Amino acid sequence: MLVMMQRNATPQDIQAVCDAIQVLGFNPLPMPGALRTAIGVAGDDGQVDTSHFEGMAGVASVLYDSKPYKQVSRDWQPEKSLVSIGHGVVFGGTEVPVVAGPCSVEGEDEIVHIARLVKAAGAVALRGGAYKPRTSPYAFQGLGEEGLRQLALARSETGLPIITEAMDERQADLVAKYADCIQLGARNMMNFSLLKHLGRLGVPVLLKRGMSATITEWLLAAEYIMSEGNRRIILCERGIRSYDTATRNVYDLSAIPVVQRLSHLPIIGDPSHGVGIRDAVPPLARATVAVGADGVIVEVHQQPDKAWSDGAQSLHPPQFEEMVRSLLPIAEAVGRSIMGAGTAVV
Amino acid sequence: MLVMMQRNATPQDIQAVCDAIQVLGFNPLPMPGALRTAIGVAGDDGQVDTSHFEGMAGVASVLYDSKPYKQVSRDWQPEKSLVSIGHGVVFGGTEVPVVAGPCSVEGEDEIVHIARLVKAAGAVALRGGAYKPRTSPYAFQGLGEEGLRQLALARSETGLPIITEAMDERQADLVAKYADCIQLGARNMMNFSLLKHLGRLGVPVLLKRGMSATITEWLLAAEYIMSEGNRRIILCERGIRSYDTATRNVYDLSAIPVVQRLSHLPIIGDPSHGVGIRDAVPPLARATVAVGADGVIVEVHQQPDKAWSDGAQSLHPPQFEEMVRSLLPIAEAVGRSIMGAGTAVV
Amino acid sequence: MLVMMQRNATPQDIQAVCDAIQVLGFNPLPMPGALRTAIGVAGDDGQVDTSHFEGMAGVASVLYDSKPYKQVSRDWQPEKSLVSIGHGVVFGGTEVPVVAGPCSVEGEDEIVHIARLVKAAGAVALRGGAYKPRTSPYAFQGLGEEGLRQLALARSETGLPIITEAMDERQADLVAKYADCIQLGARNMMNFSLLKHLGRLGVPVLLKRGMSATITEWLLAAEYIMSEGNRRIILCERGIRSYDTATRNVYDLSAIPVVQRLSHLPIIGDPSHGVGIRDAVPPLARATVAVGADGVIVEVHQQPDKAWSDGAQSLHPPQFEEMVRSLLPIAEAVGRSIMGAGTAVV
Amino acid sequence: MLVMMQRNATPQDIQAVCDAIQVLGFNPLPMPGALRTAIGVAGDDGQVDTSHFEGMAGVASVLYDSKPYKQVSRDWQPEKSLVSIGHGVVFGGTEVPVVAGPCSVEGEDEIVHIARLVKAAGAVALRGGAYKPRTSPYAFQGLGEEGLRQLALARSETGLPIITEAMDERQADLVAKYADCIQLGARNMMNFSLLKHLGRLGVPVLLKRGMSATITEWLLAAEYIMSEGNRRIILCERGIRSYDTATRNVYDLSAIPVVQRLSHLPIIGDPSHGVGIRDAVPPLARATVAVGADGVIVEVHQQPDKAWSDGAQSLHPPQFEEMVRSLLPIAEAVGRSIMGAGTAVV
């Protein structure tokens, strides 16, 4: 951190800043310049609240080396983390898992049926919502524990591990009983109480990026989970808020190589929520693998026109099958392979 | 809602959309045009998920009259709501309450002292965080229940009602025991479980706008609370996320007249979080009253340079006193008055 | 500027950065820290391109004191600039000018008529577009030089100085012949060729903020004009792009006090474009004066329902008259007055 | 277009809207509903200004089918456009051209040398700026016509066609004499005068997306060029403005499949500006080809640490060579090939 003093800052102003730095337990390093003085803060590891200084007399601005996260960083652990969700599905290795399923669990027959279809097409894990975060209180909110039971049935029928969302601590405790990986959704990325709870639960977490979260904030959300002892975190880019209504979100694929440089955690992409337009999902899934993501998650529905939610972005099963097939040579081109699907489909 | 068909949509495509509308319980109204057919949906009151239609064959786009909220709308209740938080403090009338206090509760002496100072300067309610939502898990997280106890002490010493934040259901239950109004913070505006819980608790809620929430999403968050039976909701504009780092957020004062046209709920403004720069808070507080807000909430600290959080945006007590004094003629100019402060200060 | 080295940067890496700084003509100031070395750059006044360093071996990040503008800054000139556009209308003093008129000039009778109406209601300058920047090539593009001629007629009939937009150099040369102040619109804020041309023309410039311009970029656009010798610049906040379609833009009133701290240039607000909703314009105009703006500009049309452009945000003449009247006590409350209108209207 | 009336709109209000629609030359289609009346506008092809209606008495909102562009749309021309810039380089076919070169032209030897390097590595066209749009007036502004001359020399030495930017009409006339394709930069995407001028010039145009342009606005910018008779337009996604400073922009790859559905124009991607971080450029270039873009353009510099601009995002020549090699199997995987490079490199 570096505190830039104003040109007309007095020696007293400078001393006051140096004193404030020492009060916080760090060493001030004043650097008088031609026009103004800058004061370095040595030993700062991201914990200092810059607002301590921004309002002090004579301070022009505070420059900040913004990497306040620790355990999730490559500095802390240079080698990539491998995160297993069981049933042989590991994120972060050379094999790229494809996760698929409907937006919402809509019934026992439906979820078992779609689970079989996506498995046959190459998916190695099943997604599906039992608890749905809906903007309107009058929209369908999910089947709840009955939905979890149906997901577990689909797993026992297909062997696919389950990823499903929880929106509060009670739901998380229940989801942990049924599912293999708990999804923490975009709207709750800064629900710090829930992040800590997931850290204590110890179940693998799929941590979606918040609607307008910076990469730093996202990694700090992961740090919340990890600081409670849970290291099994998979990051998921799912699009950020934009001013353009032509797509549901802006699917930020740049985040994938950037996060991979900053953090050892595996990171996957969700083009279904990223773009929100069915026909754009397969090309963006290919781009997701090409950019080096550690996995892809998409929505698939038997009859998207009749889906209870997210119909417009759900793939038809034949589209999904064709999409997975198209990912194989892309993965190969970047020195990886699509998990499981290779043998089944080609 | 209106479903626009593509120019080359077939009669079968059109019929399929009409059928889908009927399956959902609404009446389709096809309107053949010179170039394409549009299909109106009669009786839709905001519950229909447009994604049902967006992906269907022959559909070009779905136009939506986006007012899916009901009980919070002016259509539902034309006259303004008055929300009391006790101790004679009511939001939504011609008197404009000023709420002030530190970002965090930092100790018994400190909170009682600042409570007396802000009361003397014209505040009619006290803010202060016992549970702090912090981006980093390593930052100060608040004094917890001890902080709530100290706030209650400050109230008994000054008579000022208390507004303080809760981040999960357990905290909300505790806060409800000590405080007069629970703040639901920006990061939790889409924490639907917590919204419902606050709806059932029945305590007045200060509902801050989410970091990148649209006005519709914000009003739907209020609808979540109201749909559980709690009508005592005060909206609070606190700045939205921006691409410009020159200010902490973009303080969206346009939201105030726009929300007042759409909803009967009182709405106040928080320029401290909105801009994040101490010296810009008083002019923006004046603008908040001038634009017609139903209240102002600001951060004040005895020694902002030593604040444990948000020091850069906290006012010095003399600045706050001068700010309140400057609000009086502004309120008068817009046909209102500053609650309580009128007699005390001028 | 401060170059932060990575923890594992080698002495050679550090030397290479120091050498690169010297090549650019500045002094490197290495500061070895507990964990990493930082290298200060003394004498840098904003000209250095940080990208020189960001990609060098061993560099973690480059921290930047982002005030690359000079002549427009308060550092350069502490006292406020007064910018006259003639006819006794000066921006930047205690008197606050109100500028009004239609979006587009639509005919001789119409512009003369509206000019008389807005003058009677308290406006001291007339706005109106002869050249219109329209998103679609098929939309009405303005009357061109004929519109300028009509504006000049309205001035000769009323004495109101004219502010009107130019979108290229040829138009600017023509506008300079007819008008008292050239508007540089939001879409051209980074049209650097046109900025330089306006700098050479020497006519007063109303410089609107770009659709997604940071405050720094905006002040640098002013610096482009000033660096060519034209110091008569009035900044105009007119809303920035947002993700929320509830308003046309986000009207960023925070920018006004923030810019006033950074720059000596007068800054006014345009709530008509800022919010885009007629009924929200008067309260936002009051907020504009309350926040301390050096002027207000709004759209007024005899019959907004028949306006050729921007009808939804144009005020009816009686609304405008009432708005100006309501600004008087607000201006007084902040120690200013509404130019001219005071005597005429009250 | 559909005008939604308020619930309490009077028959007179409805009639007034119908009349206003007829005045504009369209047919009103009133649809009385259970709760309110909607009025369709038949025959509207995107020219109607919705603000005509938004402010009328009794109008609740105006729903709009937002495709106001014509000649650039797939509706107008279903088959993809092929745009040649000469020297055998065509955009829009199955062969994907790679364009490369420095940010700025920095000297005769330098540009000829880098042109040879990028050609050897597989580039089929050369980029390089002679006129540079710089945020600061004190930053390097380009070599001007001397830079154009040097580019032409590089072309005569290598056979690579040249793409370079013009920022105003005079520059465009000069660039047209020297270059094969004129770049219209992001900051000028709404410089409508320049767009029209490029339409009349008839030279191929590389039209970059504006910093915060919607896809509709971008296609309308292309419509401006095309409406003047120039159909040789190549769109270029280069990242949009974001709230996150971790990357230079958000590189919006979703735009590529979305634009390809809406328009017949070829569209390429510029990951260098999109992300602004050298090491993230090659993976994003792979994603660009994987998503189906019609070309890739990147910055390459012999010694990025010494580049006069954009050093942090410029590739080292060996990185570029490796990047092009890695694109070959990606292109093949999506049924395309990298133009020229196939034979040279593998």
CB atoms within 10 A of CB D8: 11
Q: Which of C2, C34, C60 is facing A63, going by the closest CB pair?
A: C2
**pLDDT band for position C68 (cuts 50, 70, 90):** confident
* Residue-averaged pLDDT of chain B: 91
Q: Which of D47, D139, D224 is facing C47, going by the closest CB pair?
A: D139
Q: Measured between CA atoms, how close is D219 to chain A, in angstroms?
A: 12
CA distance D228 to D226: 5
Q: Cβ contact (<8 Å) for D244 and A275?
A: no
Question: Is the Cβ–Cβ distance between C3 and C38 less than 8 Å?
Answer: yes
How large is the C-alpha radius of gyration of chain D? 23
Q: Would you call B280 an interface residue with chain A, using a CB distance cutoff of 8 Å?
A: no
How large is the C-alpha radius of gyration of chain B? 23
Tens of pLDDT, residues A137-178: 988 899 999 999 999 999 999 999 999 999 999 999 999 999
The separation between CA A29 and the C-alpha centre of its own chain, rounded to angstroms, equals 38
Chains that touch B (3 or more CB pairs under 8 A): A, C, D
Q: Would you call D346 an interface residue with chain A, using a CB distance cutoff of 8 Å?
A: no
Contacts of D291 in chain A (CB under 8 A): 283-284, 286-287, 290
Q: Measured between CA atoms, how close is A82 to chain B, in angstroms?
A: 23
> Helix or strand or coil: residue A11?
helix
Tens of pLDDT, residues C18-51: 888 888 777 787 777 656 787 877 655 555 667 7
- Helix-strand-coil percent breakdown of chain B, rounded to 5? 40, 20, 40
Q: What is the DSSP letter of C322?
A: H
Q: Would you call C25 an interface residue with chain A, using a CB distance cutoff of 8 Å?
A: no
Q: Which helix (H) or strand (E) holds B165?
A: strand B162-165
Q: Which residues are CB-neighbours of A42 under 8 A, at least 6 positions away?
A: A26, A27, A28, A29, C31, C33, C34
Least confident range from A39-48, B144-153, B234-243, C272-281: namely A39-48
pLDDT exceeds cutoff 80 at C280: yes
Q: Which of A2, A33, A60 is facing C43, going by the closest CB pair?
A: A33
CA distance C125 to C147: 16
Contacts of B284 in chain C (CB under 8 A): 253-254, 257, 291
Structure tokens at B262: 């759409």
Tell me how many degrees the CA angle D136-C66-D251 measures, rounded to the nearest 5.
75
Q: Which of C60, C63, C243 is facing A63, going by the closest CB pair?
A: C63
pTM: 0.88
CA distance B58 to D257: 19
Chains that touch A (3 or more CB pairs under 8 A): B, C, D
Tens of pLDDT, residues B16-44: 988 888 877 777 877 776 567 778 776 55
User: How far, CA to CA in Å, does B190 sit from each of A181, A189, C202, D259, D287?
Assistant: 22, 10, 52, 31, 32
On the CB side of D300, how many CA atoms lie within 13 Å of its CA?
34
Select the more confidently predicted residue: D33 or C255: C255
Tens of pLDDT, residues D218-244: 999 999 999 999 999 999 999 999 999
**pLDDT band for position B46 (cuts 50, 70, 90):** low
Contacts of D34 in chain B (CB under 8 A): 42-43
CA distance A204 to A182: 6
Q: Concatenated DSSP letters for A45-75?
A: -S---THHHHTSTTEEEEE-------TTBTT
| Residue tagged 């600045």 (tokens) | B319
Q: Which residue type is seen at C45?
A: D
pLDDT exceeds cutoff 50 at B198: yes
Torsion over CA of C322, C328, C331 and C332, rounded to 10 degrees?
A: -150
> Helix or strand or coil: residue A144?
coil
Tens of pLDDT, residues C216-241: 999 999 999 999 999 999 999 999 99
> Does CATH number 3.10.180.10 belong to domain D83-344?
no
Nearest residue in D to B61, CA atom: D65
pLDDT score, position D46? 53
pLDDT score, position C346? 35
Mean of the pLDDT values across residues D326-333? 97
Tens of pLDDT, residues C83-95: 999 999 999 999 9
Q: Which of B4, B40, B245 is facing D38, going by the closest CB pair?
A: B40
Least confident range from A272-276, A284-288, C55-59, D153-157: namely C55-59
CA distance A282 to C123: 57
Tens of pLDDT, residues B70-121: 899 988 889 999 999 999 999 999 999 999 999 999 999 999 999 999 999 9
At residue D306, φ and ψ (nearest 5 deg) are: -110, 10
| Residue tagged 């020694």 (tokens) | B303
pLDDT score, position B240? 96
pLDDT exceeds cutoff 50 at C340: yes
Structure tokens at C70: 């000079």
Taking phi over 0 as left and psi of -120 to 50 as alpha, with beta for the rest, C92 belongs to left
**pLDDT band for position B310 (cuts 50, 70, 90):** confident
CB contacts < 8 A (A, D): 134
pLDDT exceeds cutoff 60 at D186: yes
Q: Cβ contact (<8 Å) for D2 and B38?
A: yes
Interface test with C, best of B250, B291, B313, B326 (most C CBs within 10 A): B291
Question: Is the Cβ–Cβ distance between D329 and A329 less than 8 Å?
Answer: yes
Q: Which helix (H) or strand (E) holds A98?
A: strand A98-101
Q: Which of C29, C64, C75 is facing A31, going by the closest CB pair?
A: C29
pLDDT score, position C345? 40
Task: Map B214-282 to HEC letters.
Answer: CHHHHHHHHHHHHHCCCCCEEEEECCECCCCCCCCCECECCHHHHHHHHECCCEEECHHHHHCCHHHHH
Structure tokens at C150: 């009509």
pLDDT score, position D33? 64
User: How far, CA to CA in Å, does A45 sit from each of A78, C32, C245?
Assistant: 18, 15, 40
pLDDT score, position B38? 77
| Residue tagged 């593998």 (tokens) | D346
Least confident range from A160-169, C238-247, D151-160, D286-295: namely C238-247
Question: Is the Cβ–Cβ distance between B30 and B20 less than 8 Å?
Answer: no
pLDDT exceeds cutoff 50 at D78: yes
Least confident range from B306-320, D32-46, D316-330: namely D32-46
Interface of D with A in 176-235 (CB under 8 A): 212, 214-216
pLDDT exceeds cutoff 70 at D82: yes
The separation between CA D245 and the C-alpha centre of its own chain, rounded to angstroms, equals 23
Q: Which residues are CB-neighbours of A48 under 8 A, at least 6 positions away?
A: A1, A24, A26, A41
Interface test with A, best of B136, B209, B219, B310 (most A CBs within 10 A): B136
Q: Cβ contact (<8 Å) for B212 and A211?
A: yes
pLDDT exceeds cutoff 60 at B149: yes
CA distance B82 to B90: 6
User: How far, CA to CA in Å, does A181 sit from each of A149, A172, A314, B298, C292?
Assistant: 15, 10, 21, 42, 54
Interface test with D, best of A248, A250, A253, A289 (most D CBs within 10 A): A253
pLDDT score, position D23? 79
CA distance B84 to B76: 21
pLDDT exceeds cutoff 90 at D47: no
Q: How many residues does chain D have?
A: 346
**pLDDT band for position D68 (cuts 50, 70, 90):** confident
Q: Measured between CA atoms, how close is D68 to chain C, in angstroms?
A: 7
Q: Would you call B45 an interface residue with chain C, using a CB distance cutoff of 8 Å?
A: no
**pLDDT band for position D120 (cuts 50, 70, 90):** very high
**pLDDT band for position D279 (cuts 50, 70, 90):** very high
Fold classification of D2-63 (topology level)? Alpha-Beta Plaits (3.30.70)
Picking from C320, C231, C310, C227, the residue whose alpha carbon sits closest to that of residue C274 is: C310
Q: Would you call A243 an interface residue with chain D, using a CB distance cutoff of 8 Å?
A: yes
CA distance A182 to B7: 44
Listed by start position, the domains of chain A span 2-63, 83-344
CA distance A33 to A12: 17
The DSSP bridge partners found for residue D236 are: D208, D268
Q: Concatenated DSSP letters for B4-59?
A: EEPTT--HHHHHHHHHHHHHTT-EEEEEE-SS-EEEEEET--S---THHHHTSTTE
The segments of chain A whose pLDDT lies below 50 read 66, 343-346
Q: Would you call C146 an interface residue with chain A, using a CB distance cutoff of 8 Å?
A: no
Q: What is the DSSP letter of B86?
A: S
CA distance C221 to C214: 11
CA distance A14 to D36: 66
pLDDT score, position D3? 83
User: How far, CA to CA in Å, does D308 sit from each of B327, D103, D136?
Assistant: 52, 8, 14
Picking from B191, B164, B165, the residue whose alpha carbon sits closest to that of residue A190 is: B191
Check if B2-63 and B83-344 are the same fold: no
Q: Is the dihedral of CA A73, A75, A80, A84 positive or negative?
A: negative
